[in-house]
Structure 1
Amino acid sequence: MKSNELLLDAFGRIHETVAAALKEADDETLLRRPAGKGNSMAWLIWHLSRVEDAQLASAAGLEQVWTSQDFAGRFGLPLSGRDTGYGHSSSQVDAVKAPPGLLFDYYDAVHRQTVEFLKSLGDEDFDRIVDTRWDPPVTLGVRLVSTIADCLQHAGQAAYARGLNPEPAA
């Protein structure tokens, strides 16, 4: 198996987890915040989509799907166009509201861009420096793995949040 094939599989698992979490989710489920203060499913899926979009577009030298396909306008969130959710306050988490179809459409478009980029890579590409703000500088391979780790964590959190019963146990 080639390195990019392994990464395609990993990003494919994020896609599957997001799709399963959103399947038949209603607005109440999407907006419910675990323990009243955890991140909602809507916020988690929007955030992981923004993270993958921002990180991969930067590494690939592409425009983010968020702007290139006007998802920023379609979501209409009261946030800056560059916002990915990092460091959000509780009120900012509450502001992220979107129907399941729109959340999936955005993640699906991000995933398609990710897949096309990964298909173009050879093993020699993974050592390319993509971020010099860190010591040591971040390579493409490290950026891809960290993006997978972050997005899978948030996809799992969304699946967990979906499964919570809003009624107290008897």
Structure 2
Amino acid sequence: MRSKDVLADGFGRIEGLVRSVVEGADEALLTRRVGREANTVAWLVWHIARVQDAQVAPLAGTEQVWTARGWAQRFGLPFDDEANGYGQSPDEAARVVASPADLLGYLHDATAATLAYVATLSDEDLDEVVDEAWDPPVTRGVRLVSILADVLEHAGQAAYVRGVLES
């Protein structure tokens, strides 16, 4: 198995994990919190897609699907198009309201773009340094693993939140 195949397998699991959290939920469940400042399922799922999209698009040299495919307009969130959830306050996170279909649709498009990009990579591409601001510098492969770890962590959080809300 090649390195890009391992990455593709990992990114390919995200949609199924998130789908099991979102399907059958209504907007009320998706926007409820388990605590006053806790993230909602809607915010977590939106953030999963945004993180993947906002970080993979620059690596791929493409426009984010958030804007290119009209998701920013469809969601109509009160944030700049560049917002992806990092550094948002609990009040800002609570403003993410979306239907299950939109959350899953955007995640699907973001994941498809990621998988299309990963399919083009060689092992040499994965060794290329893409960020020298860190010590050691970050390679393309390390950045992709970091993105994958982040979105999988948030998928687990979303599943936990839904489970708590339904218990």
TM-score range, shorter chain: over 0.9
1:136 has 2:136 as partner? yes
Note the C-alpha offset of 1:133. Answer: 2.7
CA distance in 1, matches of 2:129, 2:13: 26
> Secondary structure of 1:164's partner?
helix
| Deviation for aligned residue 1:128 | 1.1
Distance in 1 separating the partners of 2:69 and 2:63: 9
Q: Which residue of 2 aligns with 1:20?
A: 20
Deviation at 1:166, TM superposition (A): 5.8
- Give the partner amino acid of 2:42: A
User: What is the CA-CA distance between 1:132 and the residue it aligns to?
Assistant: 2.7
Task: Give the corresponding residue for 1:80.
Answer: 80
Unpaired runs of 5+ in structure 1? none
Q: Deviations over 1:48-107 (max 9, x none)?
A: 110000111111111101011011111000001101110111110111110110000000
**Shift in Å, 1:18:** 1.0
Determine what percentage of the aligned residue pairs are the same residue.
48
CA distance in 2 between partners of 1:131 and 1:61 (Å): 15
TM-score (norm 2): 0.96
Question: Are the aligned partners of 2:34 and 2:165 in contact in 1 as well (CA < 8 Å)?
Answer: no
Q: Which residue of 2 aligns with 1:31?
A: 31
Partner residue, 1:155: 155
TM-score by structure 1 length? 0.94
Q: Distance in 1 between matches of 2:131 and 2:67?
A: 22
Output the aligned Cα RMSD: 1.2
Superposed structure 1 runs of 4+ greater than 6 Å apart: none
Q: Is the 8 A contact 2:29 2:165 kept in 1?
A: no
What is the alpha-carbon distance in structure 2 between the residues aligned to residue 8 and residue 44 of structure 1?
A: 22
Does residue 126 of the first structure (1) align with residue 90 of the second (2)? no
In 1, Cα distance between the equivalents of 2:89 and 2:65? 24
Structure-to-structure mapping, 1:88-99, within 5 angstroms: 88-99=88-99
- 1:130 deviates by 1.6
Question: Partners in 2 of 1:39 and 1:165 — Cα distance?
Answer: 12
